[in-house]
Chains A and B, each alone.
Chain A
């Protein structure tokens, strides 16, 4: 069962998730090494591969506020992390959906590091504390992109269709 590996507060900015000084690194295959780079302990665990894919970061409101840098989403996705937050900043949420990073909005979520979570379509259940939290659906405008498997795949279908029309 997915375990909470990091519990954060409100307004975690992209400068914290992926510091600006690593922005020259753009390839999704290279960004994961700098995830939470200034949190030496957590970054160390990630880069030492001590955090299994599917592990959960829990955060408060406005996760991913700040810059539009897509590295902030790709660096987390590269480690197979799931982000459960009370809320997300707009651009980060879009980037996450576009890249296929797993994000779950649970406005009331309260849990702690080390707890085991079960993530269902409509709720998140903390199996350690026994509490359950409702999940807010993602913006409906984005569902087609998720269904297609991300924005590249979605755009690809549109590009090929446009070509047949011509």
Chain B
């Protein structure tokens, strides 16, 4: 794609600039331009109940009948409170179901053991997210989908109502891009979660606010889509509008082999002279397991600083670390052993499909024999709304992505965040344990 000429100076484009240029019908865009990109995929979960209200409100008094711009481009996934914890939630879900049926929304994932799950896993594994797409979701971790070379960002319910009506994201300011260049091989028991926690600690909770993190380097090239989803998922914890991994062979492999996409794919890669706001270099060869300590995600320390902290509940799962490789790591670690007395191990796979695979491969049996409770796929304990809440004064260690005060349902408790390896090792001892030491 030709670079654009501005003040006589040719400048290449980053991935997000290329995607936004294409989606808004322009040759080129640059940071700060205000554009109205066409939306390729619009995702909501239970909060679709609010989107529906707002959507109908838009048309009030206009004399125009409410009409969705393109029902085929809307995905709705029930995950936050499944199965419903209260009559109120169940009624909201019922209303959304009725709206889905009445409006012919195709990509609807109800509470099911075959196609259900957490939105940020259901979308990629069903091939809904494609390279070059503009994806919006009424969920802050919509950043996840940048792992498949898309520009994906979170919006509020009212903004989604506007997308449903118009098919464009309104008044988007083209964000600046920070290049994150990663090299080196991960040591044993260190992986993508440690890398992103390390980065969030270095950047701070708002270090990437209004910016995109574009991931590059040999470590990223050899990382699976599962790992890339972890990086992009948590990019928002540094404030990023989106995380993004430029498309490559792995993107194609995942979409063809796992998401079963057959259509042609058009990868978007940055120009060689793309204008990054800055570049952050990381070498993972010397990285150690990282822990985000209460009560902010950027309060990150090397594991040595918190080893031995007693934990009452260990949680493995969520849209961050509930994929098959995460569950496999946990199952291997606890196989033939027992979760410590006084500690609860809760495991919740990121999707029903992953749950089935974990059953077929015997991981669920390994976990259950060790004393883990394997819960249905959904958000569950991650936001502590209807299961897995903590007691006063209790401490949780979790592979989820947030540890804000009250996150796991109780403001008088503490949540530490870590990788699946650290979580599994710690479940066996009942205290934060370094998996590299063997237990």
For residue B323, CB closer than 8 A to chain A, the reply is no
For residue A159, CB closer than 8 A to chain B, the reply is yes
For residue B383, CB closer than 8 A to chain A, the reply is yes
Type the 1/0 row for B207-219, where 1 means its CB is closer than 8 Å to any CB of A: 0011000000000
Please choose the segment from B1-9, B22-30, B81-89, B366-374 that sits at the chain A interface, where 4 or more of its residues have CB less than 8 A away. Answer: B81-89
Given A13-B402, A145-B170, A152-B58, 6 additional A-B pairs, CB 8 A: A16-B405, A21-B384, A65-B205, A65-B206, A68-B156, A151-B162
Q: B166 near A158 (CB under 8 angstroms)?
A: yes
From A10, A16, A21, A38, name the one whose CB has the most chain B CB atoms within 10 angstroms: A21
Complex-state Cα separation, A154 to B34, whole angstroms: 16
Identify the closest chain B residue to A71 (Cβ). B50
Q: A26 near B49 (CB under 8 angstroms)?
A: yes
Please choose the segment from B105-113, B186-194, B406-414 that sits at the chain A interface, where 4 or more of its residues have CB less than 8 A away. Answer: B406-414
Complex-state Cα separation, A160 to B61, whole angstroms: 10
Q: B172 near A13 (CB under 8 angstroms)?
A: no
Q: B161 near A152 (CB under 8 angstroms)?
A: yes
Residues of chain B from 145 to 199 with CB closer than 8 A to chain A in the complex: 154-159, 161-162, 165-166, 170-173
Q: A159 near B158 (CB under 8 angstroms)?
A: no
- Point out the residues of chain A lying under 8 angstroms from B34, CB to CB: 140-141
- Point out the residues of chain B lying under 8 angstroms from A44, CB to CB: none
- Point out the residues of chain B lying under 8 angstroms from A20, CB to CB: 383-385, 406-407, 409
For residue A54, CB closer than 8 A to chain B, the reply is no
Residues of chain A from 68 to 101 with CB closer than 8 A to chain B in the complex: 68-70, 73, 87, 89-91, 94-95, 98-99
For residue A41, CB closer than 8 A to chain B, the reply is no
- Point out the residues of chain B lying under 8 angstroms from A27, CB to CB: 53
Report the minimum CB–CB distance from A91 to chain B (whole Å): 5
- Point out the residues of chain B lying under 8 angstroms from A26, CB to CB: 47, 49-50, 53, 92, 157
Complex-state Cα separation, A144 to B154, whole angstroms: 20
Q: A69 near B88 (CB under 8 angstroms)?
A: no
Complex-state Cα separation, A89 to B296, whole angstroms: 14
Report the minimum CB–CB distance from B78 to chain A (whole Å): 13
Q: B140 near A68 (CB under 8 angstroms)?
A: yes
Partner of B154, one of A62, A68, A155, A158: A68
From A10, A66, A68, name the one whose CB has the most chain B CB atoms within 10 angstroms: A68
Complex-state Cα separation, A16 to B60, whole angstroms: 33
- Provide 26 A-B residue pairs closer than 8 Å at the C-beta atoms, listed in order of the A residue: A11-B206, A15-B407, A23-B80, A24-B92, A26-B53, A26-B157, A38-B406, A62-B206, A65-B205, A65-B239, A66-B404, A67-B139, A87-B209, A89-B239, A90-B209, A90-B210, A90-B241, A99-B156, A141-B172, A144-B171, A154-B170, A155-B58, A156-B60, A158-B166, A159-B59, A163-B64
For residue A25, CB closer than 8 A to chain B, the reply is yes
Residues of chain A from 98 to 128 with CB closer than 8 A to chain B in the complex: 98-99
Which residues does A use to contact B, with CB under 8 Å?
10-11, 13, 15-16, 19-21, 23-27, 38, 61-62, 65-70, 73, 87, 89-91, 94-95, 98-99, 139-142, 144-145, 151-152, 154-156, 158-160, 162-163
Q: A159 near B62 (CB under 8 angstroms)?
A: yes
Identify the closest chain B residue to A16 (Cβ). B405
From B53, B89, B404, B406, name the one whose CB has the most chain A CB atoms within 10 angstroms: B404
Q: B64 near A24 (CB under 8 angstroms)?
A: no
- Point out the residues of chain B lying under 8 angstroms from A67, CB to CB: 139-140
For residue B63, CB closer than 8 A to chain A, the reply is yes
Report the minimum CB–CB distance from A37 to chain B (whole Å): 9
Identify the closest chain A residue to B86 (Cβ). A24
Residues of chain B from 250 to 277 with CB closer than 8 A to chain A in the complex: none
For residue B138, CB closer than 8 A to chain A, the reply is yes
Report the minimum CB–CB distance from B176 to chain A (whole Å): 12
Q: B62 near A160 (CB under 8 angstroms)?
A: yes
Q: A24 near B81 (CB under 8 angstroms)?
A: yes
Q: B406 near A15 (CB under 8 angstroms)?
A: yes
Identify the closest chain B residue to A69 (Cβ). B47
Report the minimum CB–CB distance from B206 to chain A (whole Å): 4
Report the minimum CB–CB distance from B166 to chain A (whole Å): 6
For residue B54, CB closer than 8 A to chain A, the reply is yes
From B61, B89, B156, name the one whose CB has the most chain A CB atoms within 10 angstroms: B156
Type the 1/0 row for B387-408, where 1 means its CB is closer than 8 Å to any CB of A: 0000000000000001011110
Complex-state Cα separation, A105 to B47, whole angstroms: 28
- Point out the residues of chain A lying under 8 angstroms from B140, CB to CB: 66-68, 91
* With A15-B405, A142-B171 as contacts: A99 and B158 at CB distance below 8 Å: yes
- Point out the residues of chain B lying under 8 angstroms from A13, CB to CB: 296, 402, 404-405
Q: B88 near A24 (CB under 8 angstroms)?
A: yes
- Point out the residues of chain A lying under 8 angstroms from B281, CB to CB: none
From B159, B241, B296, name the one whose CB has the most chain A CB atoms within 10 angstroms: B159
Identify the closest chain B residue to A13 (Cβ). B404
- Point out the residues of chain A lying under 8 angstroms from B161, CB to CB: 151-152, 155
* With A16-B404, A145-B171, A152-B57 as contacts: A25 and B64 at CB distance below 8 Å: no
- Point out the residues of chain B lying under 8 angstroms from A158, CB to CB: 165-166
Identify the closest chain A residue to B89 (Cβ). A24
Report the minimum CB–CB distance from B119 to chain A (whole Å): 12
From B139, B171, B172, name the one whose CB has the most chain A CB atoms within 10 angstroms: B171
Type the 1/0 row for B70-96, where 1 means its CB is closer than 8 Å to any CB of A: 000000000011000010110010000
- Point out the residues of chain A lying under 8 angstroms from B402, CB to CB: 13, 15, 66
Type the 1/0 row for B43-55, where 1 means its CB is closer than 8 Å to any CB of A: 0001101100110
